[in-house]
Structure 1
Amino acid sequence: MKISYIFKKIKNMRYKEYVNHAKIVADKMNKSTLSILFDMAKCALLYGSGYMDYFEFEFYLLNGKERKTYLTGKYNNDIVKRYNRKEDWHLLEDKGEFNKLFKEYLGREFLDLRDASFKEFKEFIYNKEKIVCKPLDNCGGKGIEIIPIDKSIFKNEYNVLKLYNSIMKKEQFLLEEVIIQNKELSKLYSGSVNTLRVITFLDNTGTTRILNTILRIGNNGNVDNFSSGGMYTFVNESGIVYVPAIDEVGRIYYEHPKTHEKIVGFKVPDFDKVFSFVDKLSKRVPTIRYVGWDIVITENNICVIEGNEYPGVFQVKPSISGIKTGDLPKFKKYMDL
């Protein structure tokens, strides 16, 4: 483990959260907080795991041999640095640039206010009931707002200008048409668009490898992001959810708390079309080889929401699967780690 990585983690550590998570584990395992803090520090040193890796992947239930099989934040950082050329990150990071580059796969209209006039703004919103307003560099769904369009504002251009200035002030420079998801996904939760995060790697032969497929489901909000109150679960090669969902604080859901729809056993509609879709996406920017694609299934199509050059780490909790082997061996099949 590189000492520089350890020092960087220490510098950026949120100590209060670190200790709070240690207390949660200590109570669960009937151990002292100090012993858990020591074990968390040991795992950071030996396996490059952050406190959320330790907590989310339940390292406290694993022995050393099992812990070695888990993809941790350190490994994820290394993959991004090695396989995603930093000079090209902006093509995915900047949501406006991304939409222009992947326009044929969006399945929705959009407008980048950085290079659009007020007249173009007015024309864009005129025939829409709602618009999605996004910051160009949003992360975790932060700053996204869905704004209803009251047709009465067009009677007085001042009201349209007022809306325009409000959006510009909040730097929500990317406007998009609202996506209507497949009815089966709405049954799970209709308050947000429930997306798939498909993590791909473009290997040395130019072949797209799907490393993981995650179904993200909203809960009490209009976005499905984990960090914004949502939950996630895992989808197998047949498009079926095979484990319950979890949220950011570790709660487990066998059914959705709002709709009471069963999560385990849910079949993602049109899943057989997903691979060919992400295969096209992964080859559009071949210098960014490791990507988490957020896609949505509609009634008639598959649409890409965004691509993440820093995909994040998703692995099934040992306590809900009974499996104590992480994803690192799978990643090593295709990557030099």
Structure 2
Amino acid sequence: MKIIPTFALLIAVCAQAAYAETMALSLTPVTDWKAVYGRIEARDRLPARARIGGTLTELQVAEGDLVVAGQSMAMIIDEKLAFQLAALESQKVALAAQLANALAEVKRGEDLLRQGVTTAQRQDALRTQAEVLAGQLAALDAEMNVTRQNQAEGQVLAPAAGRVLEVPVAKGGVVMPGETVATLAVGGSFLRLSVPERLATALHEGDVIEIENGDLAAEGRLARIYPLIENGRVVADVAVKDLSDRFFDARVLVRLAVGSHQALMVPRSAILTRGGLDFVMLDGAGGPVMRSVVPGVEVLVNGVAQVEILSGLQAGDRIVTDATAQAQP
């Protein structure tokens, strides 16, 4: 196999430079990015609580399930409520019997009053007794409705639509009133950042945030910056379109714009790598010249890959924009 020396290849490349497109270099503002970790969080976390105490007889959700508002999630049964309802039913039967007897006495008294056998005072007492029994019966019905409502409140309903994050109870366990049966993530998800306070002045609402995670959108926008600094760090929220809510509290690498500097940017296609060195083809007055350069970071500018040149070039130099194509034999 015949090996072409590096200098010979460079000469061949320079010979084709006259047919390539060129551009004049100028200083371009480049955004400085700071890599930090963000965390995917729920906009709101709502607990689904037990409204009564008792035994958890049914548990219909698990971590990760999607629920809608009002969906049944669990069932709690307090056996004492059934006994109370049975006792109230018995009292209602007794009061109903007493009320029926009192109404019969009132009717009999009215007949006797017309015959002049009894007095009006006696008849008024009979009516009062019947009214008292009717009131007691109505109060008993209301108390029974309260007991039935307590039984119905044993059904734990989803307070809003969302995803179940945590279920800290188990079927068959005893829960107390107000105890959390499940925690829901509702209102979607967002990205929360915690950055050093020295970067606080560089953050502005609406700034573009780059996300370096293939599962997420390519970028987001800084939606809110919290004024309270905790432990030397600033907390901020990033709005990201179509942010996945499959995992919460997951860490995501993001890049924040914290400033800018002037740099010489060349297209990625203008850089040739030969023998471990990087070259850029210049369109000089005496002809094409290969210049050794030190490239920096690569960024996308208007959809075109651009590379920052740290040394080897200066503003005003004319370079061949597609030196890679010119190097093809």
TM more than 0.5? no
Q: Calculate the TM-score normalised by the size of structure 2.
A: 0.25
> Does 1 or 2 have the higher relative contact order (CA < 8 Å, sep 6+)?
2
TM-score scaled by length of structure 1: 0.24
Bigger Rg, structure 1 or 2: 2
Structure ranking higher in helix proportion? 1
